[in-house]
Structure 1
Amino acid sequence: MKYIVLLSDGMAGEPIEELGNKTTMEAAHKPNMDRLCKVSQVGMARTVPEGMAPGSDTANLAVLGYNPRKYYTGRSPLEALSIGAKLEDADVSLRMNFVTLRGEGPYEKKIILDHSAGEISTQDAEVLLKAVIDNLKRDGYEFYLGTSYRHLLVIKNGEVVELMPPHDILSKEIGNYLPKDEILREMMVKSNEILEGHPLNQKRKEEGKNPANSIWFWGAGTRPALSSFEEEYKRKGVMISAVDLLKGIATGASMKVIEVEGANGGLHTNYEGKAKAAFGALVDEGYDFAYIHVEAPDEMGHQGLIKEKIEAIENIDGKVLKPLVELLDCEKVDYKIMILPDHPTPTHLRTHTSNPVPFMIYDSTKEEKGVEGFNEKMAKDTGIFFDEGYQLMGHFLDK
């Protein structure tokens, strides 16, 4: 038996008036999910423990079967594992976004227009990060290049401080959300001065792109200590994702990370390549478990783009699920596939919520009594509910 998790980041949401009070999951044309869910186990799971922030970090830990209350030490340290940043026990890692600020006057009066600076390319980000490092470098503070807008700062012998995620304060004046730590605050203010007039940002504006005109720190934490996924669940697994957070979780769990060319965490990612990579790992390389993470619905939710979020869901259905199932069926492979979001990202809120998420588990060797369509309402109506979301993985793997 082969096991696959198809994680559609942020796919769940809330009813939208423009869609006739349907959610984006309900509105999306997803014939493959809807066909399988008729013979699948369908229910709801609470992936974000009560009292914890609704982030992809805590939620994906839970989906992968790790209790966030036990294993979570902050988002950035998980990403640090992915990019090879050196973290000692006393070090603190922080996520550093390139963001787009808008507004005249002092830094504190500006607003965050875009938490991702237009999903800036890693190539552009590398140029701007060099300018930041050249001007802000100081002993005990080390910057690391990540992917797209997602980068890191490691502070030697640092202190974990409370910091606000930029995607939680979109369109709000930033003055009340700046770090209390004077050095971090000063770095952010100076970065705006450095980046606002940078030639690359001028070029981006001329091309109609959002400039990456400030850095923003958040997600502070210390080095995590995850147990091996194979030891926990007796399955040899791979992670397929474009996002450093997921690759970091996999590294911490001693899973193989598979890089897919053209996978970028955006709407126009290499969906088909992820399906082929999972099939190759499971059938050709003999792995037991594949975790396919697709970031696109979450990114579209953060940007408040309803049509594009629906498109992302439809792409996952048609370009990841459909070819993967066809390949496995053609090879007569016995498999189970679990499809779910990690958390909701409603387009009208443009950030995550802690609400439970729908899941479906399809087993190619047997039929379950399922539902007519895979969405939040029908999943809730089944009455199947995992209050501790991290227990879902053991259920899925028949452990």
Structure 2
Amino acid sequence: MKYVIVLGDGMADRPLEELQGMTPLEYAETPAMDQLAAAGEIGMVHTIPDGMSPGSDTANLSVLGYDPKIYYSGRSPLEALSIGVDMKQDDVSLRCNLVTLSEEEERYEDRKILDHSSDEISTEDAAVLLEAVKRELETDGYHFYAGTSYRHLLIWEKGSVIDLTQPHDVLGQTIGQHLPKDHILREMMKRSYDILVSHPINLERKKQGLRPANSCWFWGAGTRPSLSSFEEKTGLKGAMVSAVDLLKGIAVGASMKNISVPGATGGLHTNYEGKAQAAVDALTKDNCDFVYVHVEAPDEMGHQGSIEKKVQAIQFLDQRVIAPIRQGLEQAGEEFRMLVTPDHPTPICIRTHTGDDVPYLLYDSSRIQQNTWKYNEKEAAESGHRISKGCEMIDYFIQK
């Protein structure tokens, strides 16, 4: 038996008037997922432990079977694992987003945050901008590391795990009250704006109608993580297919294989087919038992507040990832179980994460059922199936 989880990041949502009272998942054309739902099981799962922040970090740990209350030590340290940063025990890692701030105000504190991703800036352009910041701001106790797209790191030696605001939680808001209380971090963010606002790359982005990446934004502080081996935990040799440093870092911490897919960006126009083929190859040719395929696009479109693009992201996931994975495994003659789920909702109406239950779909090629379900939040809730502790879903999935 082979096992595959397809994780549509932030795919769950709330009913929208613009979609006749349907969610984007309910409205989208998803024949592949609906066929699996009719032959399998749907239900709801509570991925975010009560009292914890509804982030992709806590949620994906939960889906992989790691109780966030035990294993979570901050988001940024997991990304540090992916980048290859060798954190010391007293280091603190912080996410360093390259964000877009409004530019018409005189004071930095009066600016508004317009985009947490700077129009999903390319990794190549972002690396050049981060290097400019690094030259001016890096000191013996503060070190910058380039990641993917807008997602980068700051390592603070002998630092403190302090409370910092996630940029996607305050989109459109004046930033003054959301800046770090730590004086050095706050001043670094202010100085980063002065360095980046007139950088040639940002001037060119404006000419092209793109948002400039004109400031650093620190958040997600944490200490070095310690995860147990996924194979020791489940008995399955696992692999991760993701374009996002967070998921790659979780895979490193869990001693899973990381599979890099050319053209996988974490955005709407990522290499969906490449991810699907990588999953099939890992399960049929590379001796893996389990693959986790993470697709970031629905979450990014939720943060952007774009109904049309979120629906499109869900349809791409259905037609260009789930359908070819099923076809590839069936053609290879493999019996398999597939779990499709979001990690958390990213509702269009608020453009950030919530800790609400999410719908799951579980299909077993060796136990075809006959149902009339379609895969969406409404029907999953009506099914009567609910997993109250997300980190227990992996055992239910593999029937351990």
Q: Deviations over 1:13-38 (max 9, x none)?
A: 00010100100000000001001101
SS at match of 2:57: helix
The range that moved more, 362-371 or 315-324, is 362-371
Residues 1-399 of structure 1: pairs in structure 2 closer than 5 A: 1-102=1-102, 103-368=104-369, 370-399=371-400
Identity %: 56
Aligned residue type for 1:87? M
Q: Deviations over 1:241-293 (max 9, x none)?
A: 00000000000000000000000000000000001000111000110000000
Q: Deviations over 1:5-61 (max 9, x none)?
A: 000000000001010010000000000100110111111100001110000000000
Spell out structure 1 runs of 4+ moving beyond 6 A. none
Q: Deviations over 1:320-369 (max 9, x none)?
A: 11111111111211000000000000111100000010001100001235
Q: Deviations over 1:186-221 (max 9, x none)?
A: 000000111111111000000111000000000000
**Partners of 1:191 and 1:285 in 2: CA distance:** 44
How many residues align? The count is 399
Q: Deviations over 1:105-155 (max 9, x none)?
A: 100000000000110001000110111011111111110000000000001
**Partners of 1:52 and 1:183 in 2: CA distance:** 27
**Partners of 2:182 and 2:76 in 1: CA distance:** 17
**Partners of 1:349 and 1:177 in 2: CA distance:** 17
Aligned residue type for 1:43? G
Aligned residue type for 2:320? K
Aligned residue type for 2:34? D
**Partners of 1:313 and 1:386 in 2: CA distance:** 23
Aligned residue type for 1:334? E
**Partners of 1:371 and 1:329 in 2: CA distance:** 22
**Partners of 2:396 and 2:372 in 1: CA distance:** 19
CA contact (8 A) 1:42 1:370 kept: no
**Partners of 1:107 and 1:339 in 2: CA distance:** 43
CA contact (8 A) 1:42 1:371 kept: no
1:86 Cα shift? 1.6
1:371 Cα shift? 4.3
**Partners of 1:352 and 1:49 in 2: CA distance:** 14
